[in-house]
Chain A
Amino acid sequence: MSTADATARRRRVRAVLAALAAVLLVAAPLILPAFANQTLVRIGVYAVAVLGLNIVMGYTGQVNLGQIFFVGLGAYVTAYGVNHDWNILLVFVAACAIAGVAGLLVALAAARLGGLAIAMVTIALPIVGVPLAKRLSEFTGGSQGISARFTDAPDWSGLANDQWQFYIVLIVTAGAFLLARSLVRGKYGRAFAAVRENEAVAASMGISPYRTKVLAFTIASIFGGASGFLYLAAVQYTSPETLSFGHSISLLAAMVIGGAGSIAGSLLGGAYYVFVPQLTNSIDPNLTTVSQGAILLAVLFLLPGGLVSLPRAVRRLTRRAAPRRSTAQTAPETSPQTAPAHRPVPDAAPEGHEQTERQDGP
């Protein structure tokens, strides 16, 4: 069978699977219990946030420690809009737009700095955000937070609240994922990858690293704002705690663990964010942080591409198990002393460490 046939067949299979998944997703809330729907809703909320983070961090390689700030901002805008009886669509647009503008402003300054400055500056966002949220109590309800209910199922739909919420989140999440997918597959995706690989080379290709970084960051913020809207739709309450530093790191960890630089990985990241801290909290709340750190480090060392790269890694391991010393080369006992600066492959986070076998030792 020629490769063209194989590719066409694969594409058909994928299309069928996608259609099946779509049907399943639409039917699911009608069948599943309320608790399951609520869980899936929360996965969607965080998946969108992780997806945004992935665009600026996984694809464009800029460490962003402030994504949760934009989620919180989106949630607050949503709460404000709902409580002032704005049209729901307007609320959604406002959440995304205001978060986007905030992100744009931050990026315009931070991206100028280059290197790790974006990481160092974005760390301030949640840290400044919490007291700011407490201060601006007319908008935010101060330390008490603010509630807003707007996702009660309308009578004409005949649905339960959790089912209605599910559909809202499904629409926005699906939209976000499709948008992200087409973005990274197009010329912007290539620009992101080029900037991530090597900014100087990207510049010589006519891609402006500065503009690309600003764009990626702004998109990430817009997604964050959308996630905030969904958050309020699901949880119906937000407070300064929502955008705390701890949550910021959790979101980043979720992205890496799910799979940096991967659309599907963002979904896994959202799932991780919802399930794992809950699990560890139920065992012992003090354990949550340490287990998160341990898992994150484990992933970085053993599975840098995240959970989404697990099938690939397993395949590689099974291939290696088979004997393959076809080259009559003597077993190299020495290894390179210096680690050349390896740039990760755009599709995954830090891979390629198999090459970097240094002879270690004090």
Chain B
Amino acid sequence: MTLLELKDVTASYGPVQVLDGVSLSVPEGGSVGILGANGAGKTTTLRAISGTVRTGGTIRFDGRDIRGLRSDQVAALGIAHVPEGRGTLGQLSVRENLMVGAYLRKDRKAIETDIDYCLNLFPQLQDRVGSRAAALSGGEQQMLAVGRAFMAKPKLLLLDEASLGLAPGTAKTVYQAIRRLRLDSGIAMLVVEQNANLAFSLVDTATVLETGRNVLTGTSAELKGMDEIRRAYLGG
């Protein structure tokens, strides 16, 4: 069952066209990666889905056309976007950030259980529950951002450059936690990542973008094997 489908999606910021026909699909519970060099349009693809950029083409989620919806409407449908730069609500505490994630939910008890789960998943956050989120380190903020997205109990998680600015060890920890999250909850994921190794640890299939277009699509196994491709697009 296809959960998310993009067909020939175009996107532009004003007069500048960034996406020139991107297609991909994410099956229910599946995990797909978007790879490519800087400026290829990876982040813009996620933005096209969550409604933060002008788009053309087809974007269908759960069978319905979601192109043209506002970000909060897209979120209400079950898509949680962890943006590039994390989008932490700096002035709010860690706990409040997680509560905001659960904004659209009404099941108070389950929300508490999920907060506990998050803190379990990211033990580094346990001591910082009351701290202002802006005071956290980059890695902790990334974990918090993922946790906040999870709190919405989404069907699809959009992860944008989760390793950006993190030390390799921290990035690995974050990805390990996200892997565990996927196993526990079966959330589908669309992962934008410049670090190919990290990406392949999380996704089943991936598509490679170059100047706003797909140039290669395949399973992780297939893509991992292509040495030249790796060197040219994925930066090892």
Contacts and interface: CB of A to CB of B under 8 A. Distances in A.
Interface of A: 329-330, 332-338, 355, 359, 361
A337 B55 contact: no
A334 B67 contact: yes
A355 B12 CA distance: 12
17 contacts: A329-B17, A329-B56, A330-B10, A330-B56, A330-B57, A332-B54, A333-B68, A334-B54, A334-B67, A334-B68, A334-B69, A335-B54, A336-B52, A336-B54, A355-B14, A359-B51, A361-B70
Contacts of A355: 14
Contact of B12 (A329, A337, A361): A329
Nearest to A358: B70
B85 to A, nearest CB: 13
B69 to A, nearest CB: 8
Given A330-B10, A330-B57, 4 more contacts: A330-B56, A334-B51, A334-B67, A338-B71
B56 A337 contact: no
Interface string B55-91: 1110000000001111100000000000000000000
Contacts of A337: 51-52, 70-71
B53 interface: yes
A220 B180 CA distance: 64
Nearest to A357: B54
Nearest to B55: A334
Interface in B13-64: 13-14, 17, 51-57
Contacts of B57: 330
Contacts of A338: 52, 71
Contacts of B54: 332, 334-336
A338 B52 CA distance: 7
Given A334-B55, A335-B54, A337-B51, A329 B70 contact: no
Nearest to B14: A355
B70 A332 contact: no
Interface residues of B, number: 17
Contacts of B70: 337, 359, 361
Contacts of B12: 329, 332
The 10 closest A-B pairs by CB, nearest first: A330-B56, A334-B68, A332-B54, A337-B52, A333-B68, A337-B71, A359-B70, A334-B55, A355-B14, A334-B54
Question: Which secondary structure dominates where chain A touches chain B?
Answer: loop
Contact of B10 (A329, A333, A335, A336): A329
Interface in B87-112: none
Nearest to B48: A334
Contacts of A334: 51, 53-55, 67-69
Contacts of B13: 336
A249 B71 CA distance: 39
A338 B17 CA distance: 18
B28 to A, nearest CB: 25
A333 B14 contact: no
Contacts of A333: 67-68
A332 B55 contact: yes
A186 to B, nearest CB: 32
Contacts of B51: 334, 337, 359
Nearest to B72: A337
Which residue of B12, B17, B57, B70 has the most chain A CB atoms within 10 A of its CB atom? Answer: B70
A17 B61 CA distance: 64
A316 to B, nearest CB: 15
B50 to A, nearest CB: 8
Contacts of B52: 336-338
A336 B54 CA distance: 6
A336 B12 CA distance: 10
Contacts of B53: 334, 336
